[in-house]
Amino acid sequence: MKVTDHIKNANGNTLFSFEIVPPVKGNSIQELYANIEPLMEFNPPFIDVTTSREEYIYVDKAGLYDKKITRMRPGTVGICASIKHKFDVDTIPHVICGGFTKAETEYMLIDCHYLGIDNVMALRGDAMKEEKYFKPTEDGNCFASELVSQIQNLNQGRYLHDDVQGEDRSNFCIGVAGYPEKHLEAPSFKSDLIRLKQKVDAGADYVVTQMFFDNQKYFQFVEAAKEIGINVPIIPGIKPIAVKRHLQLLPQIFSLDLPHDLVEAVEACKNNAEVRQVGVEWAIQQSKELKAAGIPVLHYYSMGKSNNIKAIAKEIF
């Protein structure tokens, strides 16, 4: 079922959902199942599965290093299919521009359609670790808005190069990313919002936000989005802080601001077990306020670990 239909059917109740990351190549999917299982009691209508882009590795060849391209966390569509059937839940593969040609994207979308996957998240992806700026892949999409258009074209039966006569069309519900504290590359909050509107105008059905730790930032973002005519659901993304290093890493990677009270509470912790507790309590407070405001879905970044998400969900759902 489409995310937008799940929201409609919830009749104003707040839904619980979360995002998982595929295992590193060579690791078993069982660990992923073990992390999903404890969260199923909160009835997530859908689970997101991220896609990671390729990266360079150096292979030792008799003392000479060969630069190779590899993808360390492959398997997004396969994981979506296996979770969908094992847990009887909708799964949402993340489709990214970086590292994929438009033709490869088309094939991935066709796989999803055959597997009965009705939703996709359309994202640009980040720069490769070794590169400072995002470089579009040759014959790939440059921005998420282009990817949304490609998916919508497929929904209309328009394939990339082929004159396809068949009638069996996909009907993907499309999610896109939004940034309450603006995307790190955007020159201004307003210009980033205009780019978000382009994604919605291209056919995105809903938005999921980057993590934020101050709900006011989310509420202001939703207001500003409405003012420029974005009228699709904006689902907040929530991440509990789990280790002290998040104080440096999260602002650096996502260009966001941590509230001073949270910073002080984390700094006062003697170990990461205490930090996890602080992170959970903060996320519970955020979630309570968002739920009270009637937000349709609260979406949690699990990073493959369920303990802290379960502790939050127990208090909220």
Site of interaction with ligand FAD (CB under 6 A):
50-53, 94, 96, 121, 123-126, 143-145, 177, 183, 185-186, 192, 195, 199, 208, 210, 237
* Closer residue to ligand FAD in complex, CB, 123/225: 123
Q: Tell the smallest beta-carbon distance from residue 281 to ligand FAD (Å).
A: 23
Q: How far is the CB of 185 from ligand FAD (least distance, A)?
A: 4
Least Å distance, CB 234 to ligand FAD, is: 11
Measured in whole angstroms, the distance separating CA 74 from the mean position of its chain's CA atoms is 16
Structure tokens at 232: 């699709």
CB nearer to ligand FAD: pick between 125 and 279: 125
Judge contact between 132 and 195, C-beta under 8 A. no
Which residue lies nearer to ligand FAD by CB, 39 or 122?
122
Give me the least distance between CB of 213 and ligand FAD, in Å please: 14
Closer by beta carbon to ligand FAD, 122 or else 265: 122
CA 36 to CA 32: how far, in whole Å?
Answer: 6
Nearer to ligand FAD, 60 or 130 (CB): 130
Cβ at position 124, least distance to ligand FAD in Å: 3
Sign, Cα dihedral of 36, 250, 67, 60: negative
